Amino acid sequence: MSAAETGRTLVTADFAGRPCRFQLRLGEMAELERLCGAGIGAIFMRLGTHQFSHRDVWDTIRLGLEGGGLSGVAASALVLRYQDEPLMEFLPLAGRIVAAAVNGVPKVADAAGNAAAEGEGTADPATSRSSTAPGRSRDSRRRRSAG
């Protein structure tokens, strides 16, 4: 599988106060299934219907960090820092990671119009173009359409 193809399941999201890369490749997915005692489809459904276990959430995040490039030790240490926090704070992230493994991530166009998967590319998020037009916030668009 080429590097471009693996980007189709890569998620970049904030975790532990910084942007992190998450990906469940075949090995991480098999380990997640083993640890959770269910196939990836069942884990996906449990997360989406709030019938999850703590392992569904934490092992997804930990293994996603490993698949995203962190060592097993670093990923475990990072996740352990947050395991006393409410699970609901981390459920959306776990859901995104599994959803990316199952469905892939949407393609987005860069400034030149080239399509790339969400986690691909080296653009610094601080220099990325805004998704809203200059001078217009998302809230102002909502108020206009609602009223």
Q: What is the C-alpha separation between 100 and 37, in angstroms, rounded? A: 20
E strands, the chain, are 11-15, 18-22, 107-109, 115-117
Residue 137 pLDDT level (bands cut at 50, 70, 90): very low
> What are residue 7's phi and psi, to 5 degrees?
-65, -15
What is the per-residue pLDDT across 98-108, written as a single tens digit (0 to 9) for each?
Answer: 999 999 998 76
The closest alpha carbon to 138, from 12, 11, 110, 146, belongs to: 146
pTM above 0.85, yes or no: no
**What's the pLDDT tens digit per position in 61-106?**
999 999 999 999 999 999 999 999 999 999 999 999 999 999 999 8
Residue in 145, 143, 108, 100 with CA at minimum distance from that of residue 129:
108
- Residue 25 confidence (pLDDT) above 90: yes
- How far is residue 6's CA from residue 54's CA, in Å, rounded to a whole number? 27
Q: How far apart are CA 132 and CA 141, in angstroms?
A: 9
- Give me the pLDDT at residue 123, please: 38
CA dihedral angle for residue 84, residue 85, residue 88, residue 91, rounded to 10 degrees: -70
